[in-house]
């Protein structure tokens, strides 16, 4: 009998009423993207101070850190506790997939620098350019590594200085670090592979309603998805391959 794979999801955001009503919460959004039948996925609402016991970390095959409205460079108690936990998981060489805020937290823990995005915030569908020389053919990207991948982006911060041992895997016109890896167990993505058009439009309407962005910004965000969508199937494959056993690079 094959042993059941078990993963932990560190939720650094609260569920909006829209996400609760439409998907039953962000837990379901992530599991529907990265999970497979027969696996166990446990969620910990780290933003609310909910963490696993350290003695239970070894039970998990991998971890995912979500996005957040908070900045990864803040020093709230829960962020400092999350950093300590990531250090321990890193020392265990367990796999961690960091998304947006999670991508930045891993950079911070490993000695990098995170701060406000130098070219401003992003809330749209965008293309990131893959650094093909950094990726081994047949790795978790598959046999054919694409030139670019479309992904939904929602952030106001960025990794300003990479950790010494990190390898940039993708960049874009405005951001030097769209994706990076460290050794074979840390894989970090600035964009949101789990997001779809519905979630993006909800976020755009929300920040517009709160007066955080002008109408022109909101219109441009929605226009980015008029004729195409993110490469969700490819992102699912890449992230699942990473979490579930494929190796990344030399």
Cβ atoms of 128 and 171 closer than 8 Å: yes
Nearest to 170 by CA among 120, 231, 110: 231
**Token digits for 157?**
């911060």
Q: Which residues contact 34 (CB under 8 A, 6 or more apart)?
A: 7, 64, 97, 194, 236, 239, 240, 243
Q: Please confirm, yes or no, whether 155 is among the known catalytic residues.
A: no
Q: Which of 27, 185, 192, 239 is catalytic?
A: 192
The CB density around residue 88, as the number of other CB atoms within 10 Å, is 11
Active site residue 192: yes
CA-to-CA distance for 221 and 153, rounded, in angstroms?
Answer: 10
Residues 6+ away with beta carbon under 8 Å from 68: 12, 13, 47, 100, 101
User: Do 177 and 171 form a contact (C-beta atoms < 8 A)?
Assistant: yes
Length reported for the chain:
250
Mark whether 236 is an active-site residue: no
Question: Which is the catalytic residue, given 122, 158, 178, 194?
Answer: 194
Indicate which residue of 100, 154, 188, 239 is catalytic. 100
Kind and range of the H or E run holding 157: strand 157-161
* CA 181/CA 191 separation, integer angstroms: 14
By annotation, the residues acting in catalysis are: 100, 192, 194
């Amino acid at each position: 009998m094959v042993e059941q794979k078990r993963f932990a999801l560190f939720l650094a955001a609260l569920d909006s009423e829209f996400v609760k009503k439409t998907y039953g919460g962000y837990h379901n959004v992530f599991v529907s993207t990265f999970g497979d039948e027969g696996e166990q996925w446990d969620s910990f609402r780290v933003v609310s101070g909910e963490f696993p016991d350290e003695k239970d970390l070894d039970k998990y095959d991998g971890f995912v850190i979500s996005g957040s409205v908070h900045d990864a460079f803040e020093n709230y108690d829960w962020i400092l506790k999350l950093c300590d936990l990531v250090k321990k998981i890193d020392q265990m060489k367990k796999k961690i997939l960091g998304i947006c805020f999670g991508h930045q937290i891993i950079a911070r823990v490993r000695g990098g620098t995170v701060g406000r995005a130098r070219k401003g915030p992003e809330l749209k569908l965008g293309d990131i350019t893959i650094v093909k020389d950094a990726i081994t053919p047949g790795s978790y990207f598959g046999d054919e590594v694409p030139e670019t991948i479309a992904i939904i982006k929602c952030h106001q911060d960025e990794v300003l200085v990479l950790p010494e041992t990190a390898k940039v895997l993708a960049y874009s016109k405005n951001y030097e670090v769209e994706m990076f890896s460290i050794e074979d167990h840390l894989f970090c993505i600035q964009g949101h592979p789990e997001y779809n058009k519905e979630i993006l439009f909800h976020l755009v309407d929300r920040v517009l309603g709160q007066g955080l962005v002008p109408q022109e910004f909101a219109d441009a965000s929605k226009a980015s998805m008029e004729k195409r969508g993110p490469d969700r199937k490819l992102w699912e494959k890449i992230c699942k391959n990473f979490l579930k056993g494929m190796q990344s690079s030399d």
